[in-house]
A = this chain, B = another copy of it.
Amino acid sequence: MYGRYTQELGVYAKEEAARLRDGGVRDGAGLRRNTSVRSRTADLLEYQKDPCAKCQSCASRCQKFLISRVGEDWIFLILLGLLMALVSWVMDYAIAFCQEAQKWMYSGLDSNMLLQYIAWVSYPVVLITFSAGFTQILSPQAVGSGIPEMKTILRGVVLKEYLTFKTFVAKVIGLTCALGSGMPLGKEGPFVHVASLCAALLSKFMAAVFGGIYMNELRNTEMLSAACAVGVGCCFAAPIGGVLFSIEVTSTFFAVRDYWRGFFAATFSAFIFRVLAVWNQEEETITALFKTRFRLDFPFDLQELPAFAILGIACGFGGALFVYLNRHIVECMRKQKTINKFLLRKRLVYPALVTLLVSTLTFPPGFGQFMAGQLTQHESLVALFDNRTWCRQGVAEEFDYISHHHGWKHPQVNIFITLILFIIMKFWMSAVATTLPVPCGAFMPVFLIGAAFGRLVGEIMASMFPDGIHADGTVYPIVPGGYAVVGAAALSGAVTHTVSTSVIVFELTGQISHILPVMIAVILANAVAQSLQPSLYDSIIRIKKLPYLPELGMGHHEKYNIRVEDIMVRDLRYITLNSSYRDLQEVLLTSQLKTLALVESRESMILLGSIERLQLQSLLSLQLGRQRRLEYLCQLAQDNGTNDHLSSLTTDSTPSSPCAHTAHANTSTSARQVVRFLVSTQQIESIYFNFFFLLVISQIAEWEEQQLDLPVDFKNCKIDPAPFQLVEQTSLHKTHTIFSLLGLDHAYVTSMGRLVGVVSLKELRKAIEGSVIVTGVKVRPPLASFRDSGNSTSVSEVTELHKLCIRHRGLTLPRELNRRDNDLCQPVVS
């Protein structure tokens, strides 16, 4: 029932164990024993210690917290926003400092080009290598974007070590170094991870200090999804875009009631982030990060829309290509065994080599002069969003009043060539750079490439229509900066499969005048990219093989047509109420499932609940464990008249407790007992005792067999009394919806209470991926074809109902045939 059950159970088990360890629990009239989750470790502990009043006081304390602290969410969100804004601002400051330092070194050595080259190249190589090494040593989980992992975590899967303090430190420092190197990397993906880390750590801190609702697991998920919004929001100072982007990339179903949390935290965070800039005298007041100054009254002509649409479609293909390229690089390196082996041994060689290559190519006096190599991402973007036309004004004229523009100016080369070179080089560089084992995102590089592509299209348009294309008198020249904005939104939207990049560009540029071109281009880019490739984050999820349920594609109509019965596992393992311990053993040995179904009987197959594997293992070991063996031995000894000998042995080692009751947990003691027993039997060395010894062993074996034949006692076992059930006829589409909504791991397929199969995430993933990859051709799984002819499942359903009826009437009717109220009169078993 309700997917997270298993995890809560885990948490509950841990808490219970911890509480038991702390002080033990009073075994109040045997009630608590039956209900609490009994992990084996907890069972092995003693029960007889002082009862603690902790549980009662704890409950009432929680109560108070729950009622009084309605405003706690606000405090938490404000703290989170503040913290993230500070982190973001400090990081930006540090990155700017790093980049300044590189420039200073580079320009200080302008007498000798070799020295200049070494300075230009060594700086990023050192930073990236340090970043890779640092994260590798401290926390390898900090590598990469973090959005795929957050998507998986919000889906309900627990990824170990992804939300620890170590990872936080590794991510922040690693990211600062990686971005400071000037490589084409972004900070937005990692910031989602950093914000989630912040939220998780803050939650832990608050829980430790205040307790109460901060313990609640549901609440923490709500906070994590708010944190993702904060991450994007304070990175771009784009609260609305941040919320929407984080929803699109991390959620499948979004609870609208959590919406305000994200908005509040992201707004607060973005506000503080920009206020810090004002206080630091960087800005006069709060404005956008990449402020544009396009004209308001006539931003674009209606006849330019086809150009925007073409730009969007091209960006769609470009985005798909980027994702393909990125995945292909990783897969290539994995497949090439020699490369793979080498890279695994020398982990820092690959980042160093890639950085060397990239920075060599961008070396300004070298090839870099043709591709604005000396500009940072920020500077390039500001230049690309400029509201004047570059080509019409000539390359030289009026170009240097914004200092960044000189990067684009080249005496010999056309501005078009520069832009094309910039796009092509940055494209593969970004695709390669995002595969580096450092904390890095791909959003910003892609955004930049998109902007450059848009600028290119805009400049071409401007040179084609130097006086604009408006028919009526007034001349409205074409604004290539608008194309740059549209291109940036479209390409980043295509790569991430989101439409909210449009909102992000409005917030980044501070202008919304190009809303329609942006929306049209983003939607077209998405349509193209989604039909060709998964999103970058889904692609990484596949590469990393994270346990995530893929999305149904855009044209997912065929999903209505596949049913659960086509994909479910029919040959499933289960336990019945009558199962013996032998069956249990067999089931545990032959299957690897985490949970097993409990049915009424093999005949009726009525699903009663599900039991976790661990629970069953503990049941089995309770029945056949060392304790029980020893008890049996004691019993045996008593029956055979060797009372004195054995009791002296047992009292020797365990002076206080009687043998058969309150069994002892000290394993070393019991082991010693057996050894002593054996030694003592051999010491006597009489035939009688040798024979007795053999007899004992055979008797133990016999006892074991007997024990295995006993029916399982489920009394001490925690059973999930209402596991999630589906019907055979449920469509794949609905199944996917339910699995994503409730974060399920598996669901039982039942028919009239009878268990007929099980569907897990694995089967579902296979079914979806199978049909997504081969769209339009192989959508029906093999079993689907049987369905149309004959409706066999429905027949069996009816037959089963009949069987049930017959079974029941067979039991009750012979006695009570033709009597009134034949089931109202049945005696109720107390």
Contacts and interface: CB of A to CB of B under 8 A. Distances in A.
A339 B706 CA distance: 84
A801 B714 contact: yes
Nearest to A812: B578
Interface stretch (A105-113, A285-293, A400-408): A285-293
20 contacts: A1-B725, A1-B726, A2-B730, A31-B790, A67-B779, A69-B557, A73-B555, A257-B551, A263-B519, A264-B523, A271-B519, A286-B300, A287-B296, A296-B511, A576-B823, A577-B804, A578-B822, A579-B823, A721-B751, A807-B829
Given A257-B551, A510-B296, A577-B808, A523 B819 contact: no
Nearest to A62: B561
A239 B557 contact: no
Interface in A257-302: 257, 259-260, 263-264, 267, 270-271, 274-275, 278, 284-288, 291, 293, 296-302
Contact of A750 (B286, B721, B809): B721
A71 interface: yes
A255 B256 contact: no
Contacts of A288: 512-513
Interface stretch (A85-93, A156-164, A597-605, A633-641): A597-605
Interface residues of A, number: 152
Interface in A548-563: 551-552, 554-558, 560-561
Q: Give me the 8 closest cross-chain CB pairs, A-B, nearest first.
A: A70-B555, A578-B823, A35-B794, A608-B753, A267-B519, A512-B512, A722-B725, A66-B557
A504 to B, nearest CB: 11
Contact of A719 (B216, B554, B801): B801
A342 interface: no
A741 B253 contact: yes
Interface string A121-152: 00000000000000000000000000000000
Given A507-B515, A602-B823, 8 more contacts: A71-B555, A72-B557, A218-B734, A255-B737, A287-B298, A511-B511, A578-B823, A722-B726
B34 A580 contact: no
A539 B600 CA distance: 48
Nearest to A819: B709
Contacts of A552: 257
B257 A248 contact: no
Contacts of A512: 288, 506-507, 510-512
Contacts of A510: 296, 512-513, 515
Nearest to A298: B285
A600 B256 CA distance: 40
A821 B722 contact: no
A255 to B, nearest CB: 6
A252 B259 contact: no
A116 interface: no
Interface string A205-247: 0000000010010110000000000000000000110001001
A609 B240 contact: no
A169 interface: no
A69 B776 CA distance: 9
